[in-house]
Amino acid sequence: MADNIAISLENVSKVFKRYQRPADRLKEIFLPGKTYAKEFWALRDISLEIPRGETWGIIGRNGAGKSTLLKIITGTLQPTSGKVQVNGRVSALLELGSGFNPEFTGRQNVFFNGRLLGLNQQEIEKRFEEIVAFADIGDFLEQPVKTYSSGMRARLAFSVASSVNPDVLIVDEVLGVGDAAFQHKCAKRMRNLMETGVTTLFVSHNAGSVKTLCNWSIMMEKGTLKTCGVPEAVLSDYMKRITDKEIESAQVSALASGETNSVPTAENGISSTNGQEKVKVLSSLPKSFRRGSKKATIEEVRILDIDGKEIGESPSIGFNEKVKISVKIRANEAFKSYIVGFHICDRNGNELIATNTKQEEIELGGLNPLDETIVDFEINLPLKPTSYSLSVAITADYEEITSDWIDNAIVFQVSPPNNGKKIHGMVHLPVTISSKKMNSLPS
């Protein structure tokens, strides 16, 4: 394995055996050559190389194999087949507190868990005060861990595991531990580790965390590696797959009940030639992803100036300029009511501005099949000068499958303010500042 590679996986697979009865295990021992177990392949032929210093997010539905993959990388599970190589010391934040002895005090468990993570006695003593201060569990440090709440146990475990100064950090859904203040501390420590060049693998169902923390992302499905790329693109593909699964389930339910008219199919999608051309244009935009049942479709998305003039194919918008986001929709089925919305994201996919007609308490009424409607949103864009993406969607209701959703329908640029003012945050809002000089203390 090359020196610049932190983690290398080559055709890694993991199978678990499931027995219906405990006696079946004994039968296999005494009757070799015959199996009584059903095989469950948690991982199949995973090959991946992760360079040093990068942060990779792992996403996927429950049972996709994410946690199994992390346990194999950390060495707590052995693969059934394949080759795993890891360069450097590994610290794993998997099941926080699982390595604690409930009869030991918090202090004793700091030293016990630290040794399990590869620190010697002197290293633990050197870090002890920092670990205790970060966990902030007060006098409970001297009490048995069995008296701790789950939050206190997680705080202490995170503090120990993140103080190891690892070369590789493995994180599995742990940034939600403790109260809000402690979650911020966890996220900040994670960023500090990443900034020092620690290679990080991060599993989370929180799309915002993956977009914010990760350089790259992979998506797993049924034990296989499905997608690899920048987080925004992988998350969009993940959401498309979830929507497709929902549509498939709706088709099965509708066919089982005989309600074939409500089954979303390809034929229920865009039927006009003009509509097909628009879809092709939108789908060909950079990193554009589309999903939905196609009960209604988005025919056109434009950004207009306040006078209704289109700004251009690759729009450049002035700082804090008022624009119209214009969304043309077409109904393929009847709607009693519907919701149209949008969100604007930075280059990492973090949502900065978002709203929809329901949120703004605008009733759009109903739609008949083949009806077309244009919905305009007027908004100022006080955004930091850089590039952004616009995503749009239409749905009948929050609880239903989205009819049409286009991620990154338009990518646009915001220009710097004309007065040369520097914008320090991602969004700049008007601020009123006042000051009052206090009397000086007598010398």
**What is the spatial distance between Cα 183 and Cα 190, in angstroms, rounded to a whole number?**
11
Distance of alpha carbon 93 from the chain centroid:
18
Residue 164 within a domain: yes
pLDDT, tens digit, 9 for 90 and up, residues 127-145: 999 999 988 888 899 999 8
Whether 158 and 15 share a structural domain: yes
What sign results for the dihedral spanned by CA atoms 17, 203, 348, 52?
Answer: negative
**Which of 20-34, 39-53, 167-181 is the least confident region?**
167-181
pLDDT band at 346 (very low <50, low <70, confident <90, very high): confident
Whether 190 and 322 share a structural domain: no
Residue 337 within a domain: yes
**pLDDT score, position 257:** 66
Residue 128 within a domain: yes
pLDDT, tens digit, 9 for 90 and up, residues 221-247: 999 998 888 888 888 888 888 888 877
Residue 267 within a domain: no
Report whether 99 contacts 178 (CB < 8 A): no
**How much is the average pLDDT of 85-98?**
78
pLDDT band at 327 (very low <50, low <70, confident <90, very high): very high
**pLDDT score, position 385:** 93
Whether 223 and 285 share a structural domain: no
CATH of residue 320: 2.70.50.60
CATH of residue 214: 3.40.50.300
pLDDT band at 158 (very low <50, low <70, confident <90, very high): confident
Whether 91 and 214 share a structural domain: yes
Q: Which domain holds residue 403?
A: 281-414
Q: Regarding predicted confidence, which is higher, 48 or 19? A: 48
**How much is the average pLDDT of 292-317?**
87
**pLDDT score, position 205:** 79
Residue 422 within a domain: no
Whether 38 and 182 share a structural domain: yes
* Strand-pair category, 38-51 with 199-203: unpaired
**pLDDT score, position 140:** 92
**pLDDT score, position 382:** 94
Global pTM reads 0.71
Could you say which of 232, 266, 290 is where a domain stops?
232
Residue 436 within a domain: no
Whether 193 and 301 share a structural domain: no
Query: Mean pLDDT of all residues in the chain?
Result: 83
Whether 213 and 345 share a structural domain: no
Whether 200 and 288 share a structural domain: no
Whether 228 and 343 share a structural domain: no
Q: Regarding predicted confidence, which is higher, 266 or 208? A: 208
**Tokens found for residue 36:** 């009584």
Whether 225 and 78 share a structural domain: yes
pLDDT band at 442 (very low <50, low <70, confident <90, very high): low
Residue 427 within a domain: no
The total domain count for the chain is 2
Could you say which of 232, 266, 300 is where a domain stops?
232
Residue 245 within a domain: no
Q: For 165, what's the count of Cα atoms within 13 Å in the CB-facing half-sphere?
A: 7
Whether 228 and 290 share a structural domain: no
Whether 225 and 287 share a structural domain: no
**pLDDT score, position 97:** 57
